[in-house]
Amino acid sequence: MWTLVLGIPVGIVVGVVMLSGIFGQNTTVILLLAAISLAALYLVGPRFSDRLITVIRVVCLLLALIVGMSIGSLAKHRFQPMALDTNLTYYLTGTVTGVPRWGKYSRRYQVEAACVGSQAQQCDLYRSSLPLWPVVIEVTATGAQPELVPGQRLQIQVRPKQQQLQASPAAFDVKRWLLSTHTVARTALLKGSEVKLLGQRVFTLDRFRAQLNRYLADRREDPRWAGLTSYPVILALVSGDRSLMNDNHWDVFNRTGTTHLVAISGLHIGLVAAFAMFVLQPVFRRWRWFTNRYPASHGAVFGAWWVALFYTAMAGFALPTQRALIMLTVFVVLKLLGRARQLWFGLAAAFCLVLLWDPVACLSMGFWLSFTAVYLILWLIGGEVEKSSATSQWITVQLGLFVGLAPVLLWTVHSVSLVSALTNVVAIPVIGFVVVPVSLLWALLWSVFGDQVGFLLDWAAALQDGLLWLLQVSAGWRYSVWTVGERGFASMALAMVGVLWLVSAGVPGRIWGAVLMLPLLMPQVHGLGAYVMGAGSGRLVFHFEDRVVSLSRSHWPQPLASWQADLMAHWGIGIPPGAITVNNSKALWLSTGAVMSEFELSSNPLGARQLERMTYFDLCKQLPNDLDGEGEREGDNISMVPWLDTRYPKHCAVEIQWQGPRSTRQRWLYWPIDSVRVQRSLLKQLANERFDLILLDVGKGKSVEEGVLSLLKAGKSLIITMKPVPDALRTIMQQRGLQLHTITVDGYYSVPLAEPGSATLHESAEIGSK
């Protein structure tokens, strides 16, 4: 049995992550042959002699790996993006699921696709034939369009959306996220089209969850002494809908390491089940008819499973909650069979069943974090000879999880909360045993009695207010988050070995486990260089050891744009809580053209860099006051000089000179000018100037004067555009021997500062949000 529960999931992970499509069109045939052979060996294997048992087990393991790889390849192929033409209209037939995501001007729906075709009566592009792995298509509707209701089965006309690309070394990999959520296309509801209703369920939990969303969104609550409203958090805890939470909520949860508490997962399902067992155990003990036939604990476990099933349904059977329910089901079955002590086998079986149910779950970081956490808990307290107190076990688990999950978090999100062990000791029992049960009781009664049970919601909100206050105090510590920047897989694997060595009682030399973690934990300066990137509009970023300088269009009202914060986290630059010194923010607010944002950095005693000061300059109106007459700061090897016509003061091009690889002086030009009249005016001024690189950042549908191409130096000069250029302009570039780099096609462009060499190209990832 161990060959199955280990071989199949390992094969699935390999088939999804590494070797998808390895068997080609014969995947289904190979899967059937391997599965039949595996079943036959399990049936006849015990009849062989002991000498052949080892050979049989090895063969079974290989067959299990082949079965898993085939399943992983089939699942990944099923969820590949649909090849849809953005200029055509398609007919989508399916069922609306999940809770709609409401924006300021639009709504996003998830539709489980049953049929996709170019005509109303055709399914020439897709027809659902496998109910196990549903395919999802995202549909966006604007304010004036019909409102779709969860549970409706309908046929609509949609048009594929042109995906905006985020070209950045810190870009969020939306393609991977869409694959893990079974989303194969992102579309928009065709304006003026008819929504043909084919059927509607009388009641669905998704519709009830949507009503909860609207009720709590309309309910106004003063932030009180906590400084944050609690209703968005309660909605997330009850239904898994986090759409009402704002950036301040996320900042507090991220800095305190409690983000997992507002994402319903195995922790919540387990805590609710534990609370139900605690309540049901005394009831079953007093039920003599039941205890005369079965242990009271069996009744409590079975009842707790039903409570967990209800909670999972309230969360919309989201993929993380499905995984949690499968894991709980495995342990409940082992408990009822009298094999509750087989913890390691139960974990392996749950791992296997979760991946069989959803093979692409292995692409989600939450999947690995949840199983790593359970593994660490079993490693820490699963083999205790003498049972310690509940308080001692709880503290041991929290400290162990803090140390054990740190390498995974530092490798994936490049930061870890240093206060998470303390905050989780308090937050987990408060939320799991008090806030969630009271909130679930309110939601259940609210569906029948309405506002008459509002006092329960007020109780839950008051408790959540107190917890939010505690989390805000913890998040306010300057060093509450440790940021290290991007790290390689080898350092993470070495750190995980160190974790197991460190937390293993009785193993000699445990201090060396901490030593193995140092390469991952210690701050390093990396990524120094110049970057050309963007999403919609162009961005120039220069990363020095003591500061980061960016040149882009205004990102008001955000003093620190999200893409800038992501880059700093990627490079291991911490952003301390509280007010950061901001200079000349008026330039960011009033600018109509290029804005230079300067982020000065400082280092703490351990060498970790942190953001210290932010300064902004509207380069079309002013030069930085600490630059000399040439626009260059001493010792920085970079200067920025605007080129503008006084008749058009709102528009300017920016010349950047900086020290490139091999101590060569690089001369770049940022050209964010849409007006042809302004372009012609500046071309006259720049007639005798030549540049190594030009970034063309003109608006959608705007043309570029051909004379811009003459500003490039002869030889290996480069012109960078955000979007593909017209064929006529591309032909001229080819005739002149100019190199063209398109950000949305070729990815971001970078030139390193530290190491000599040519510029490097990188793939881009789709922009988006979870």
E runs forming strands in 497-593: 529-535, 537-543, 547-553, 573-574, 581-583
- In the block, residue with structure tokens 């509280």: 578
Q: Which residues pair with 452 in a beta bridge?
A: none
Extract the tokens encoding 392.
Answer: 């001692």
Q: Report which residue type is found at 524.
A: Q
Residues ≥6 apart with Cβ < 8 Å to 155 = 91, 92, 93, 120, 196, 198
Q: How far apart are CA 723 and CA 725, in angstroms?
A: 6
DSSP character at residue 223: -
E runs forming strands in 645-759: 652-659, 665-671, 693-696, 718-721, 739-742, 749-752
Backbone angles phi, psi at 734, to 5 degrees: -65, -40
Considering all CA atoms of the chain, what is the largest pairwise distance in Å, rounded to the nearest integer? Answer: 99
Q: Assess contact for 113 and 172: CB atoms under 8 A.
A: no
Distances (CA, A) of 30 to 25, 33, 66: 10, 5, 8
Q: How far apart are CA 74 and CA 500, in angstroms?
A: 35
- In the block, residue with structure tokens 């979870």: 770
- CA-based nearest residue to 165, from 742, 673, 758, 552: 742
Q: Assess contact for 182 and 211: CB atoms under 8 A.
A: no
Peptide bond into 169 cis (omega under 30): no
Q: Assess contact for 132 and 188: CB atoms under 8 A.
A: no
- CA-based nearest residue to 481, from 765, 211, 706, 256: 256
Q: How far apart are CA 7 and CA 668, in angstroms?
A: 55
- In the block, residue with structure tokens 């009402």: 244
Q: How far apart are CA 150 and CA 65, in angstroms?
A: 39
- CA-based nearest residue to 540, from 672, 700, 670, 711: 670
Q: How far apart are CA 709 and CA 716, in angstroms?
A: 13
Q: Report which residue type is found at 243.
A: S
Going 266 to 271 to 276 to 282, the CA torsion angle's sign is: positive
One DSSP character per residue, 342-404 reads -HHHHHHHHHHHHHHH-GGGGG-HHHHHHHHHHHHHHHHHTT-SSPPPHHHHHHHHHHHHHHH
Beta strands 106-117 and 136-142 are: antiparallel
At residue 202, the pLDDT reads 74
Q: Assess contact for 755 and 156: CB atoms under 8 A.
A: no
The count of C-alpha atoms lying within 13 angstroms of the C-alpha of 54, restricted to the half-sphere facing its C-beta, is 1
Going 312 to 317 to 321 to 322, the CA torsion angle's sign is: positive
Q: How far apart are CA 205 and CA 315, in angstroms?
A: 9
H or E element that contains 114? strand 106-117
Give tens-digit pLDDT for 728-751: 888 888 888 888 898 888 889 998
Helices 343-357/365-381 angle, 10° precision: 170
Q: How far apart are CA 322 and CA 529, in angstroms?
A: 44
Q: How many CB atoms within 10 Å of residue 392? A: 11
H or E element that contains 188? strand 183-189
- In the block, residue with structure tokens 């120039």: 540
Q: How far apart are CA 760 and CA 347, in angstroms?
A: 44
Q: Report which residue type is found at 587.
A: A
pTM: 0.81
Q: Which residues of the chain have pLDDT under 50?
A: 625-635, 754-770
Q: How far apart are CA 478 and CA 466, in angstroms?
A: 22
Q: How far apart are CA 639 and CA 630, in angstroms?
A: 7
- Considering the domain 90-202 in this protein, what is its CATH number? 2.40.50
At residue 693, the pLDDT reads 92
Specify burial of residue 34 (Cβ count, 10 A radius: 0-12, 13-18, 19+).
buried
At residue 383, the pLDDT reads 57
Region class of 192: left (phi > 0), else alpha (psi between -120 and 50), else beta: left
CA dihedral 262, 266, 271, 277 (to 10 degrees): 150
At residue 765, the pLDDT reads 36
Distances (CA, A) of 394 to 334, 401, 424, 425, 476: 24, 11, 10, 8, 25
